[in-house]
Structure 1
Amino acid sequence: MNTLQWLDWLIFVGYLAGVFTFGLYMSRRQKTPEHFFLAGKQLPWYAIALSLFATNISSGSLIGLAGDGYRVGMAVGTLEWGALLGLLLLAFVFLPYYQRSGVFTTPEFLERRYNLTARLIFAGLIIVFEMFVFMPFVLYTGGLFLHVMFDLPIFASAVVIAVFVGVYTTFGGLGAVVWTDVVQGLAMLVGGTLVTILALVRVGGVGQLARQAPDHLHVCLPPDHPDYPFPATMIGGYLLITIYFFCQNQTIVQRTLGARSEWDGRMGAVGACFIKLFLPFVLILPGVLAFVLLPDLEHSDHALPALIAEVIPTGLQGLMAAAIVASLMSSADSGLNSWATIFTYDFYHRLIQRTASPQRLVLVGRLASVVLLVVAVCCTPLLEKNPSILQYILVALAYFSTPIIVVFLGGVLWRGATPAAAVTTLLTAPVICFAAQQLHKFITWWPAQTVYWMPLGAAMVASVMIIVSLFTRRKDARSLEGLIWTWKDTFTLEPQLTRRRGVPADTASARAATRPAVWHDLRLWGAVALLLMCAIIWWLR
């Protein structure tokens, strides 16, 4: 399907060269671990919002969402709209405690709340997941896109992508990652909007689309739908995956920890909600349009690259190819940097060399990035036989995220959660989740869909957490100070605004400064995002 002309190649190569150069330029600033791993804590809210979006939407998401849009329809959009709940939980529940505790990683927070063992188990789970599941998924889908668009071998494409991303991420650190994410996030939005508009024009408009694919435009599918039953996609297992992905996932949380203030970090999460509202119309709707224009595709995951080749004219295909590769690079560089951070701080610095110099920590982080890329590239061929890459990653996340959600929610919301219970939960949860997934073969009423069995599995895991906590020793109240969620810290307006300005919250000048700044109220914008989400779902029901 190689249809690119010289102008397309010029745009495509020029974009990649620009990102590569920018990443190397940013690497000159990474002199300390705080700069390399947390961007010197100088990130503004708008950069965080765009980086959260770009990190979340990988090439796998672009291809997978459009593919399931082709196969199922706009109901897949409930995954994106449901993500608002996870982002708001991050902004209003988890992030204040991450920021105030001064941690570099989410596993480090578990040590503060529970003990070192809980931290190491969680860090180990993240390393395994990133190395054998997430990074191979990202590299494979990037290689798949280049294969469908340019007839390039999937594995060779994955190797080239890994080398390209590895160079600017390994040397640039989080600062390079986030600021390139800003550029790449904008490229994705522009590219997705372009292909949607041109495909919609080719179909004949919204009315013609509704006549040719009426079933693909409904969001609320029956509760027994095998993949996207409504409302379970919003409040069932996928909600749990969303909570993990946005509230405990180091790749996401690390961006907010690099904020220049607590307000910027939290507003970045709220700002990302508004981008999420728009995404199904530029990521999933193209799959529905491909269903009308290209009804005979052999594989639904080929919908997006095939649609690009069909409707995008010469001169713009290079821009679209750059937008897809941008999504790949954003997820790959983010996963790479967060994995290096966890390995460096949760294993090397915590267990091997407590007195390591800042330069040594940065070097270890860079070497860890190289190891991850090599292993991930070797694992990419294993994904070729999956019928739906989106369902593959969702099932993998169901296993991985369930114990983490229970341990974090229990730790932040309940003083009675004990270190022994956290460790027991993390160790036994995989077996419990496997049982929850397989029980439908032995119990007729037990659900087979991930969206249903995952909440039941989470309830079983939570039962283990509660029972063990009741019979083991909890940490003393003093050690938990500042780690347990309260309404006051989360929803009080004044501390949000004073922290943004860097003014002590208990001064008269701070109180005076906060009064007129209603537009900075996180509660207001969070409520607006939720209302818009409900309105969109009602419109497409």
Structure 2
Amino acid sequence: MSGEPAAQIAGLAIASLLVIGSGIALSVYFGRKAKSAQDWLSAGESLPLLVVIVTQFATATGGGVLIAHVGIGYESGWSVFAYEGCVLVGFLILMLIARWLREQRFTTVPEIVTRLFGENKLVTAIAALAALVVPFGWLATQFVAFGQLFSRFTGASPTVLILVIMVASLFFVLPGGLTSVAWTDFVFGLFMIVMSLGVAGYAIHLAGGWGQVTATVPQRLWGWEGITAAGWDQIWLWVAAIVPGTLTNQLYYQRVFATKKVSDARRGLGLSGLTMLIGGIYAGCIGLAVHSMNPGLVNEEDAAGWLLTRLPGWLVVVFGAFLVSTIVSTTGSALQSVVANLTRDVYQTIAGREIGERRTVTLSRLITVAVSVLAAVLAIVFSKALTWLVASYAYSAAALAAPIFLGYALRRRRRLTPAAAIGGMLAGLTGCAVAQALDTAVPYAVYGIGASAVVLLAIALSSGKPPAAVHEGVKEEQA
């Protein structure tokens, strides 16, 4: 191995350890703020508006933005903004119920469903499964991405690297749960924003400047028409797949639950959605720059990797630190979200085990270790089979979208019963499975959500109007 590659590997390893170490130090520091189970599970409703905005960005920006979205920019130019715009649309829709969500002081998504439809263990069980499968899928696939990505850079075994990121994720979550995760994500998120814009600018510079890019790349990619260069069929598929997934992703809800001020819940979502467009700038600029320098890539998703071979040694090290911070911020958030479901919904609600504050935190930490080990084992043993976890988005959205949003809309007009929630969720899962088996052109989540909405509406409309005295927590917020 020549001196320069060896020096780059050493620099990358040191930068990665510094990022992970600083993240652990931040987690321990901010974890001291967590004094109760509520602090551990929902950050004690203590997060300022700026922290909410940046931590949402850090949570949502994972391996997809780093690799797949750059591929979109390479192949379809500014169409990457159509993709990021779907996340923004999801956040704007969530704004409609954000204030109510924050006022009800929820901790997990299943609590929303049971508040609307009534306490029922089967309702909680189905909703908990639908809510936790997405963050668990994120956790396992981020472990795989870290192992595969840095194995290529360093030559280290993916198994060893997966164990490293597993331990790092534990140290990010264990000190204070969501309190430590959110504040650590905030610091990492600021670094990620700066790096995203910096690397995007350097990529354009490396290509010879924007004038050279426009001279060598077809105008249909870099002009205004580039926003739709992927084609309307593809864009509508993105809308059908991404918007529902955003609307039911518990990681985004948890930041709403944790806002310091009720008034920040709505603003936080709107401004967080706008920060997602930074990912579009990063992916679009790098994709177009690489297209200008090397228009013959067989696989567009190789664009980000190809750029790494063109960067100077010092920037490879800094970019590696950026990749590490991006992945660990997502793994920490996903891990804490799964643990919140298992602690609050499964252990306390379904199993009916009520324990004190200190024991709840201890139990949550034990569950954190168990979930991390399970995700690492899956990432090591079944890394090639983890693609099935992509389906978790569809099934989660199919089960939860109608109960949350139709339930919210109908809560003062119809008598909502556990049967309506159960029927709607099961219909959503069934519709999703049938559409997937038929290999429909439209994403099968759409069929699942449609089936869920129809069944839920039918049961709700047949249940009559609610009694005059609605149960606590379902009354509409006062203006």
- Name the TM-score class by shorter chain: 0.7 to 0.9
Give, as a single letter, the amino acid of the residue that structure 2 aligns with 1:77. Answer: F
Call closer, same or farther: CA 1:213–1:171 in 2, change over 3 Å: same
Aligned partner of 1:170 among 174, 180, 185: 174
- Is 2:197 the counterpart of 1:193? yes
Q: Is 1:14 equivalent to 2:18 in the alignment?
A: yes
Is contact 1:147-1:153 (8 Å) kept?
A: yes
Q: Which of residues 61, 64, 68 in structure 1 aligns to 2:65? A: 61
Q: Which amino acid is 1:404 matched to?
A: L
Q: Would the aligned equivalents of 2:203 and 2:285 in 1 still touch at CA under 8 Å?
A: no
Identity among equivalent positions (%) equals 23
Task: Quote how far apart the aligned CAs of 1:86 are.
Answer: 1.8
- 2:82 pairs with 1:78: yes
Distance 1:399 1:166 in 2: 28
- What are the equivalent positions in structure 2 for 1:393-404 lying under 5 Å apart? 395-404=391-400
CA 1:309–1:484 in structure 2 vs 1: closer, same or farther (change >3 Å)? farther
Match in the other structure for 2:408 = 412
Superposed displacement of residue 176, structure 1 = 1.1
> Residue 114 of structure 1: CA displacement?
0.8
Assess, with a 3 A threshold, how the Cα gap between structure 1 residues 113 and 233 changes in structure 2: closer, same or farther: same
Structure 1 165/296 Cα, relative in aligned 2: closer, same or farther at 3 Å? farther
Distance 1:156 1:474 in 2: 59
Q: Give the AA of the match of 2:156.
A: L
Task: Tell whether 2:56 aligns with 1:52.
Answer: yes
Structure 1, residues 381-414: CA drift from partner, whole Å, max 9, x if none?
534378xx7xx76544123212211111110012
Superposed CA deviations along residues 303-334 of structure 1, whole A, max 9, x for unmatched, are 324313322x2223222111111111111111
- Tell me if the contact between 1:65 and 1:283 (Cα under 8 Å) persists in the aligned partners: yes
Give the letter aligned to residue 8 of structure 2.
L
**Structure 2 residue 469 is matched with structure 1 residue 478:** yes
Q: 1:402 to 1:485 in 2, by over 3 A?
A: farther
1:100-499 equivalence runs, <5 A: 100-115=103-118, 116=120, 117-131=122-136, 133-214=137-218, 215-217=220-222, 218-221=226-229, 225=233, 228-229=234-235, 231=236, 233-234=238-239, 236-244=240-248, 249-295=249-295, 299-311=299-311, 313-352=312-351, 354-381=353-380, 382-384=382-384, 395-414=391-410, 415-416=413-414, 417-439=416-438, 448-450=441-443, 453-472=444-463, 476-479=467-470, 483=474, 489=479
Closer, same or farther: CA 15–251 of 1 in aligned 2, 3 Å: same
Deviations, residues 14-42 of structure 1 (Å, cap 9, x unaligned): 23221111112223332211221222322
For residues 461-500 of structure 1, give each alpha carbon's deviation from its aligned partner in whole angstroms, at most 9, with x where no partner exists. Answer: 32122223233466535335653768x74xxxxxxxxxxx
Counterpart contact for 1:46–1:271, Cα < 8 Å: no
2:105 and 2:385 map into 1 onto residues whose CA distance is 43
More displaced, 141-150 or 421-430?
141-150
Shift of 1:202: 1.7
Q: Which amino acid aligns with 2:279?
A: L
Q: Distance in 1 between matches of 2:217 and 2:160?
A: 37
Deviation of 1:224 (Å): 6.2
Distance 2:230 2:35 in 1: 55
The structure-2 alpha-carbon separation of the partners of 1:216 and 1:237, relative to structure 1 and needing over 3 Å to count, comes to same
Amino acid at match of 1:20: I
Q: Quote the Cα distance in structure 2 between the aligned partners of 1:50 and 1:260.
A: 15
The structural deviation recorded for 1:6 is: 5.0
2:101 alignment counterpart: 98
Gaps of at least 5 residues in structure 1 are 441-446, 490-541
Mapped to 2, the partners of 1:155 and 1:145 lie a distance apart of 12
* 8 Å Cα contact 1:256/1:265 also seen in 2: yes
TM-score of the superposed pair, with normalisation by structure 2: 0.88
Q: Cα offset for 1:200? A: 0.7
Q: CA deviation at 1:168?
A: 2.6
Residues matched between the structures, number: 465
Is the Cα contact below 8 Å between 1:148 and 1:306 reproduced in 2?
Answer: no
Rounded Cα–Cα distance in structure 2 between residues aligned with 1:29 and 1:183: 16
Alpha carbons 1:189, 1:282 under 8 Å: kept = no
TM-score by length of 1: 0.78
Q: Which moved more, 1:159-168 or 1:207-216?
A: 207-216
Kept in 2, the 8 Å contact 1:70–1:287? The answer is yes
- 1:274 counterpart letter in structure 2: L
Quote how far apart the aligned CAs of 1:353 are: 5.1
The worse-fitting range, judged by mean Cα deviation, of 43-52 and 376-385 is 376-385
Cα distance in 1, alignment partners of residues 397 and 8 from structure 2? 41
Amino acid at match of 1:154: P
Q: Which amino acid aligns with 1:141?
A: A
Quote how far apart the aligned CAs of 1:52 are. 0.4
Q: Is the 8 A contact 2:80 2:283 kept in 1?
A: no
- Secondary structure at 1:478 match in 2: coil
Instruction: Give deviations 1:277-322, integer Å, cap 9, x for gaps.
Output: 33201134323333333455565444324313322x2223222111
Inter-partner Cα distance in structure 1 for 2:89 and 2:297:
34
Matches of 1:176 and 1:209, distance apart in 2:
42
Mapped contact 1:240–1:405 kept (Cα < 8 A): yes
CA distance in 2, matches of 1:454, 1:319: 39
Q: Following TM superposition, by how much is the alpha carbon of 1:434 offset from its aligned partner in structure 2, in angstroms?
A: 2.3
Between the aligned partners of 2:429 and 2:354, the Cα distance in structure 1 is 35
Report the secondary structure of 1:68's partner residue: helix
C-alpha distance in structure 1 between counterparts of 2:133 and 2:247, whole Å:
20
